[in-house]
Chains A and B, each alone.
Chain A
């Protein structure tokens, strides 16, 4: 399991003490490297919980399945809106599918 960081889109969440992905990773696997960029310590230690991806306001992160269990080139990216998540899925043949999942949160909640 692991993630891919799009360095063009990543702003390192300027103004925050820690970027949101660094803050939220339950495994403490994401850090700011010497070049000041977001980096994952070890792809093999990722649980694939997507906490980082869902918390990224810039859509700069992507899940990558380990090659051991999945062919190269398929991608899945969520775009988090207040009331929904738009999942963009690309299979290995290049077909693109979109899934819109309502993010139902009751009134009075977050």
Chain B
């Protein structure tokens, strides 16, 4: 297979294979991956550190378009312990306190570090950071990703852009590296490593999106975070946790712009079509506007379901100068919103801004889905670490928490690598099977496109596993039927067809998403309570049941079956 132009035909050349070696392989060059790489070089400069990135680290991952606040920061008067207590309450009582506490202790140090690389953080006249909320500080973060990427390059990290990792190399429950392919040149990579960090982000595109057709990628979470890290771990037999704690964001309707800035930064109230401040009127017993995040989204979704919609964020109290300021803030973080208003002849100073819930995502940064890790950020596979959205059990970590996890993972991976430095990397690996799997869609003359299969997956998940069309609700019967359909869809993977390397990447993205969806349904089925309304609403078990369910639901793929494990919750703070 040769170097194909986009949309070109398949050449008859043989597949080119590159074998690379590194000490520390980091899969995914986003917030967690880049910080891990810089830290690793900082601790042990003579080690080879390699980032595999499917896009280009300059603008890849969640930070592509910029950021206007750090939302996990220990402000004066707070402590890592008070952060843990807050996150526990916000996550309805179930978090890995060891993970949240250990990352909380590193938040401020890492914010300072990234500031020293060039990130601009707003300060008041005393030189203190400008607080935006209890755990939030304001930044001027349009260039946050290029700043981090440049530092990563300068640190001497070996960065390989436009390469998609497809599977981990695991033998006897120890990781030896990964397989990947170059989406520009089609080269197959076999990368041997002493330790591997997965930092590929979470998964979008599992559920049918709010916008479809020409706006299908108008999503909250990056549509290019396709669950590759979860899927590779699932296939390698790593233990996963809390997939059932999905994440649904409250966003500006259509354009899916963030609402936190309006609520926190500009004091907007949520109102329904009757002008009622429903969070206070109807949901005050949960804490009203200060209720845990799942309950704050439960408010507007319930209003919509019960016929009191549309629902809005009201900014009509703002002066025209304040509205201008609001637009400036969004231009720094989410410019599309400003264009959306201009294109719809809309002035947020005159009319309230309509809001809605997004499609569900699987993420470990806002919610709890991901690899089951220990405090070192090591997964259940030896030598394999996880950080950021792909790592589970520690919600509310966001960007700064992902930095912390990347750094903690790097520190421990380096210790591991140094301890094993005299060990030979195992040589004997059969990769023919993986080559066949990876390039299979090129050998299909007539078949299914990745986009068609993605649409099918999203329809099944939407209708049987609590998507938007069901107001995020589900029951046992629906989930079982959904799982049947997912398993039959999985059998169709052999018909996936690609005509170029971009499409080949899309094929593997949908294959990964199907593996994530399968595990997700198993988790949703197993938890027989409703712990996080909207994220996980079981109509057949509508109440929270701490007596029986204050525990983690974990899973592993064993002999092609998903096996569920229960793991206890441990209170330490």
Contacts and interface: CB of A to CB of B under 8 A. Distances in A.
Interface residues of B, number: 54
B344 interface: yes
A65 B340 CA distance: 7
Interface stretch (B72-80, B126-134, B216-224, B530-538): B216-224
B44 to A, nearest CB: 24
Given A51-B64, A92-B345, A101-B142, A70 B216 contact: no
Interface in B160-179: 162
B327 interface: yes
A50 to B, nearest CB: 6
Contacts of B162: 28
B66 to A, nearest CB: 9
B118 A45 contact: no
Contacts of A45: 216-217, 223
Given A23-B56, A106-B120, A110-B147, A47 B224 contact: yes
A37 B275 CA distance: 51
Given A31-B6, A89-B338, A105-B143, A47 B345 contact: no
Contacts of B115: 106
B178 to A, nearest CB: 19
B60 A65 contact: no
Contact of A108 (B118, B343, B502, B505): B118
A50 B145 CA distance: 13
A74 B335 CA distance: 13
A26 B120 contact: no
A59 to B, nearest CB: 15
B254 A69 contact: yes
Contact of A103 (B55, B143, B183, B213): B143
B335 A28 contact: no
Interface string B202-218: 00000000010111111
B342 A105 contact: no
Given A31-B6, A49-B59, A69 B222 contact: no
Nearest to A39: B6
A44 B217 contact: yes
A20 to B, nearest CB: 9
B58 interface: yes
A108 B327 CA distance: 29
A46 B217 contact: yes
A11 interface: no
A15 interface: no
B322 interface: no
Interface string B65-101: 1000000000000000000000000000000000000
Nearest to A48: B336
Interface string B104-123: 00000000000111111000
A69 B331 contact: no
A41 B6 contact: yes
Contact of B223 (A27, A99, A101): A27
Contacts of A92: 342-345
Contacts of A2: 214
A103 B188 CA distance: 40
Interface in B253-302: 254-255
Interface in A49-81: 49-51, 54-55, 63, 65-71, 73-76, 78
B5 interface: yes
B55 A28 contact: yes
Contacts of A33: 6
A65 B64 CA distance: 18
Nearest to A70: B343
Nearest to B150: A110
B61 interface: yes
A44 B216 contact: yes
B546 interface: no
A1 B216 CA distance: 8
Contacts of A50: 65, 335-336
B336 A1 contact: yes
Given A24-B59, A63-B336, A41 B502 contact: yes
A43 B297 CA distance: 30
A85 B142 CA distance: 10
Interface in B325-349: 327-328, 331-332, 335-336, 338-340, 342-345
Contact of A1 (B147, B217, B342): B217
Interface in B205-255: 211, 213-219, 222-224, 254-255
Nearest to A20: B58
Interface in B24-73: 54-56, 58-61, 64-65
Given A28-B505, A106-B120, A109-B117, A44 B215 contact: yes
A101 B328 contact: yes
B140 interface: yes
A47 B215 contact: no
Contacts of A55: 58-59
A31 B324 CA distance: 36
B542 interface: no
A25 B162 CA distance: 10
A44 B122 CA distance: 36
B140 A104 contact: yes
A56 to B, nearest CB: 12
Nearest to A105: B118
Nearest to B219: A47
A1 B218 contact: yes
A14 interface: no
B164 to A, nearest CB: 9
Given A31-B502, A41-B502, A51-B65, 9 more contacts: A26-B61, A43-B214, A47-B217, A49-B64, A54-B142, A66-B213, A89-B342, A104-B120, A106-B118
18 contacts: A24-B59, A26-B61, A26-B222, A27-B217, A48-B336, A49-B222, A69-B255, A70-B343, A85-B331, A87-B331, A87-B335, A92-B343, A92-B345, A101-B328, A101-B331, A106-B119, A109-B116, A110-B143
Which 8 pairs across A and B sit closest by C-beta, in order of nearness? A109-B118, A104-B120, A74-B343, A51-B59, A70-B343, A91-B342, A49-B64, A31-B6
